[in-house]
Chain A
Amino acid sequence: MASNDSKERAYRKLESSSLLQQTMFRYMLEAQAASEEGKLAWVTSGFPVEIPLAMGLGVSYPEQYTAVVGSQKVGPEVCGFAEDLGYSQELCSYARAGIGSTDRPDDSPLGGLPEPQVLLACNNICGTVLRWYEAVSELTGAPVFLLDTPPVQRRQPSHHKEYVRAGLEELIDFLGEEFDTSLEEEKLQEVASNSTKAIDLWTKSLEACKHKPSPLNCADRFLAMAPVVSMRGKKHILEYYESLLDEVEGRVQQGIGAIRNERVRLLWDNIPPWFSIYKFFNGLAKRGVVFPADTYTHAWTGSLEGEGILNRMVDIYSNVYLNRGLRAKVDKMTGLIEEYDLDGFVMFSVRSCKRYSLGQLVSKDLVTERTGVPGVVIEGDMVDSRLFNEAQIQTRIDALIEMIE
Chain B
Amino acid sequence: MREKVGIGIDVGSTTTKGVIINSNGQIVASSIRSTGASANDAAESVLDEIEESYGEAIDQSVVSTGYGRKLISIADREVTEITCHSLGVHHIFPDVQLAIDVGGQDSKAIRVGSEGRPTDFELNDKCSAGTGRFLEVMARVLDVPIEGLGPLALQSQNPCSISSTCTVFAESEVISQISSGKSPQDIAAGIHQSMAGKIASMSRRVGIVAPVVATGGVALNPAFVDYLGKSLGEDISVPQEAQFTGALGAALLSIQ
Contacts and interface: CB of A to CB of B under 8 A. Distances in A.
B126 interface: yes
Interface string A371-405: 00010100100000000010110011011001100
Interface in B113-165: 117-121, 123, 125-126
B80 A398 contact: yes
B120 to A, nearest CB: 7
A178 B91 CA distance: 73
B189 interface: no
Given A361-B205, A403-B117, A403-B119, A395 B80 contact: yes
Residue from the set A361, A376, A402 with the largest chain B CB neighbour count within 10 Å: A402
A379 B67 CA distance: 17
Interface in B6-35: none
Secondary structure dominating the interface of A: helix
B82 A395 contact: yes
Interface string B68-110: 0000000000011111000000000000000000000000000
Contacts of B118: 399, 402-403
Chain A: number of interface residues, binned into ranges: 10 to 19
Contacts of B82: 395, 399, 402-403
B187 to A, nearest CB: 31
Contacts of B120: 368, 374
B150 to A, nearest CB: 28
Interface string A306-331: 00000000000000000000000000
Contact of A399 (B80, B125, B126, B205): B80
A296 B135 CA distance: 41
B79 A402 contact: yes
Residue from the set A374, A396, A399 with the largest chain B CB neighbour count within 10 Å: A399
A391 B83 CA distance: 16
Contacts of A402: 79-80, 82-83, 117-118
A358 to B, nearest CB: 15
B99 to A, nearest CB: 13
A403 B117 CA distance: 7
A391 B67 contact: yes
A172 to B, nearest CB: 47
Chain B: number of interface residues, binned into ranges: 10 to 19
A398 B83 CA distance: 9
A230 B123 CA distance: 38
Given A361-B205, A379-B125, A374 B83 contact: no
Interface in B49-76: 67
A368 B207 CA distance: 13
A395 B119 contact: no
A399 B82 CA distance: 6
A391 B121 CA distance: 17
Nearest to B124: A392
A392 B119 contact: no
Contacts of A399: 80, 82-83, 118, 121
Nearest to B117: A403
A392 B125 CA distance: 8
Contacts of B81: 395
A392 B126 contact: yes
Given A398-B80, A402-B82, A392 B117 contact: no
Nearest to A389: B126
A374 B120 CA distance: 7
A403 B126 CA distance: 23
A330 B79 CA distance: 31
A234 B121 CA distance: 47
Residue from the set B67, B79, B117, B121 with the largest chain A CB neighbour count within 10 Å: B121
B83 A395 contact: no
A209 to B, nearest CB: 27
A399 B205 CA distance: 17
Interface string A241-284: 00000000000000000000000000000000000000000000
A403 B121 CA distance: 10
B205 A395 contact: no
A398 B82 CA distance: 9
A374 B111 CA distance: 12
27 contacts: A361-B205, A374-B119, A376-B121, A379-B126, A389-B126, A391-B67, A392-B123, A392-B125, A392-B126, A395-B67, A395-B81, A395-B82, A396-B123, A398-B80, A399-B80, A399-B82, A399-B83, A399-B118, A402-B79, A402-B80, A402-B82, A402-B83, A402-B117, A402-B118, A403-B82, A403-B83, A403-B117
Given A399-B83, A399-B118, A402-B117, 16 more contacts: A374-B120, A379-B126, A389-B126, A391-B67, A392-B125, A395-B81, A395-B82, A395-B123, A396-B123, A399-B80, A399-B82, A399-B121, A402-B79, A402-B82, A403-B82, A403-B117
9 tightest CB-CB pairs across the interface, nearest first? Answer: A399-B82, A399-B80, A402-B83, A398-B80, A395-B80, A389-B126, A403-B118, A402-B80, A399-B121
